[in-house]
Amino acid sequence: EPEVTQTPSHQVTQMGQEVILRCVPISNHLYFYWYRQILGQKVEFLVSFYNNEISEKSEIFDDQFSVERPDGSNFTLKIRSTKLEDSAMYFCASNRQGIGQGANVLTFGAGSRLTVL
């Protein structure tokens, strides 16, 4: 069964450093998403991306965050200058037809755990 693949599975970084989290969505999916889950808390929407543009972003997704699809397969989340409170699991998700088109089931990756020291 097709999977969403995320790397790294775990990254430890120093506060203020830049981090790039990578995702390979399912190959025929066109819509991509990042979510965040701070330990023990709810899964929070960060951003959605389609056709090389951000479709929607939450209040959490401020100027220190950016997303990119640098090639035909990867979808990345960059955090420019990490803070302690960025420590969380980051989940990538994708679907073929997009959230608002009645087919809003998402396929999630296993997540990247980010620890900021």
Site residues (vs other proteins, CB under 8 A): 4, 33, 35, 41-45, 48, 55-56, 58, 89, 91, 93, 99-100, 102, 104-111, 113
Distance CA 69, CA 26 (A): 13
Q: Which is nearer to other proteins, 20 or 50 (CB)?
A: 50
The distance of closest approach from Cβ of residue 97 to other proteins in the complex, given in angstroms and rounded to an integer, is: 13
The distance of closest approach from Cβ of residue 117 to other proteins in the complex, given in angstroms and rounded to an integer, is: 20
Residues 14 and 21: beta-carbon distance below 8 Å: no
**Which tokens hold the place of 29?**
């999916």
The distance of closest approach from Cβ of residue 81 to other proteins in the complex, given in angstroms and rounded to an integer, is: 25
How far does the chain reach from its first CA to its final CA, in angstroms? 36
Q: Which is nearer to other proteins, 15 or 43 (CB)?
A: 43
The distance of closest approach from Cβ of residue 116 to other proteins in the complex, given in angstroms and rounded to an integer, is: 18
**Greatest alpha-carbon span in the chain:** 41
Q: Which residue has the tokens 């066109």?
A: 30
Q: Which is nearer to other proteins, 61 or 86 (CB)?
A: 61
Q: Which residue has the tokens 């679907």?
A: 95
